[in-house]
Structure 1
Amino acid sequence: MSTDPTAADDWKRWHEQRVETVSAPHGPLSLTGTHWLADYPEGQLPAIPGQWAEDGDEVVLRAVAEDGLTLDGDPFGGEVRLGADSGPAASRVALGERRLMVMRREGEWAVRDFDPGSPARRAFQGIEATPYDADWSVPGRFTPYESRSTIQVENADGRARGLGLGGELAFTVEGVGHTLKVTVEDDGSLWAVFADASSRQGSYRFRFLRTPAPGADGQVSVDFNRVTLPPCAFADHFICPFPPPGNTLPFAVDAGERNLDGRSSV
């Protein structure tokens, strides 16, 4: 193991912040349901009051004051048209401490229920992560595709959805070259969904790798120390994409987040 004291301290702070983020009152551990409106044509969602219906580019919510819902922090009764929320913290509708987040995926609308009192949040013991090792931070090169493409991959809920891919990230580990297909985010950073030889054998079944935006020459740092668990490792109601074909590395990535403390690899 190779260590850099400054980098190791930075990693420790990053890890502590990750634990705080996922265990926050409305963090990933608090998600108790993702309810697709198309599955509830009558508009009544499980354990959520009011009547919810999709109407083109909006969701229509009808409720009475007795339902106990709030809208933008105020008691709500009547009808309101809602767009997609950027996250639970930005959700307009709440029920007590629960945040009811409106979301849209590939034209389909859903309501997510974030409950600070969720069993997963109460049972959380921490994130199992490998201490920083400088050998797992390697140089990489990004090569964009001539045009971005979308492929269908299975998601954690058993459905196939589109995953946008913008190029390939090349790097070398122990003298052997490897590549991962990556998504290019709006800010230019890269995101890869990958599995490796440790998946289900000491690590979660797949993980996420993120890098900064590459330089003009495609050069970018690839730091496996900051590999993260996908949201579906924290709650079963996320719809994380599985790795696309070709994104299973033949070696064990013994770095970054590995699993939840107290939980076996799944």
Structure 2
Amino acid sequence: MKTNSVLLFLALVFSALFVGFISKNDEGAYQNEINQWHQKRMDGLKSEDGWLNLAGLFWLKEGDNTFGSDEKNDIVFPKKASKQVGTLVLRDGKVSFKAHSDAQVKLLEAGTSPEFVFEDGKTTTMQEGTLRWFIIKRGPKYGIRLRDLEHPVLSHFQGVERFSVNEAWKVVAKLEKPSTPRTIAITDVLGLVSQQSLVGHAVFEWKGKTYRLAATDAGGGRLFIIFKDKTTSHETYGAGRFLYTDKPDEAGNVILDFNKAINPPCAFSPYATCPLPPAENNLAIRIEAGEKDAKMH
């Protein structure tokens, strides 16, 4: 009898240790998943298409816009550019490019017909040396987005501080879709307002209270949420953070993994044009997960 009791006791102890080991192992796997995801994001920021190499944002006027490093140009590029790179001509929402004879400009990633470098929302990338630029459209404005593939920021970048990974912040939410199609007004840092299709509200509970976040379509089967919380302008970036998630499952559930909450591009460069959170996405709680303020500028 005594032997049976000892065996039962040992079995219970082993079972508890085994469950604890499994739990710890699962926790470690999730931490590794988030760490790998974060490292991939840091690599993306430093890539040629990342946000760290932005070197300028210049708005075009209708008609001719001369540009280059000479201060006599309408738009002044960094000193490493030719004194006269050329002229960008904006007419009726399309932009053409005339290179100066002394400039060595290459056309990359051509998304337009040969006579234009911007048309119908499509753009062609231009390059001289380590500088790359292309045309963007924001509301009624057209501008040059300039990159420097050898921007000093790239060598000085030390990564982004985060809150400790906490799986409790991987929250299941119910997506409440609007009864009729509607849009939500999103304002960007330039003060321009655009109407975005509202996919729905992600409704979740935290410590017994219910919270709602308006979500728009991010494309590629994903949802996009811009939010503020009680850490904003303190530990986290003052213009809020971004969160992406997959579209709802058959039960209408979405996963809000706040450990993947990220800084907007404007946190890394003054030359980005970021959307701001709608007022209804200002949460009255502290989301102690995800990226902290990058403190880049």
Q: Smaller-chain TM-score range? A: 0.7 to 0.9
CA distance in 1, matches of 2:267, 2:35: 21
Aligned length: 253
Q: Do the aligned partners of 2:46 and 2:52 also contact (CA within 8 Å) in 1?
A: yes
CA distance in 2, matches of 1:182, 1:149: 10
Question: Higher strand share goes to which structure?
Answer: 1
Equivalence map 1:62-77=2 (5 Å) = 62-72=98-108
> Matched residue of 1:71: which SS?
strand
CA distance in 1, matches of 2:134, 2:287: 34
| Aligned equivalent of 2:254 | 220
Match of residue 82, structure 1, among 117, 141, 149: 117
| Aligned equivalent of 1:18 | 41
What amino acid is the match of 1:71? L
Match of residue 162, structure 2, among 129, 140, 157: 129
Indicate the RMSD between aligned Cα atoms, in angstroms. 2.6
Q: CA deviation at 1:55?
A: 2.6
| Aligned equivalent of 2:230 | 197
Q: Do the aligned partners of 2:121 and 2:137 also contact (CA within 8 Å) in 1?
A: no
CA distance in 2, matches of 1:212, 1:73: 29
Q: CA deviation at 1:147?
A: 1.1
What amino acid is the match of 2:76? P
- For structure 1, which runs of at least 5 residues remain unmatched after alignment? none
Match of residue 65, structure 2, among 43, 46, 56: 43
| Aligned equivalent of 1:161 | 193
CA distance in 2, matches of 1:35, 1:41: 15
| Aligned equivalent of 1:208 | 242
CA distance in 2, matches of 1:17, 1:172: 30
Which of structures 1 and 2 has the bigger CA Rg? 2
CA distance in 1, matches of 2:264, 2:109: 30
CA distance in 2, matches of 1:86, 1:16: 32
Out of 217-226 and 90-99, give the one that drifted further.
Answer: 90-99
Matched, 1:231 2:265: yes
- For structure 2, which runs of at least 5 residues remain unmatched after alignment? 1-23, 67-74
| Aligned equivalent of 1:54 | 90
CA distance in 1, matches of 2:218, 2:48: 27
Identity rate of aligned residues, in percent? 24
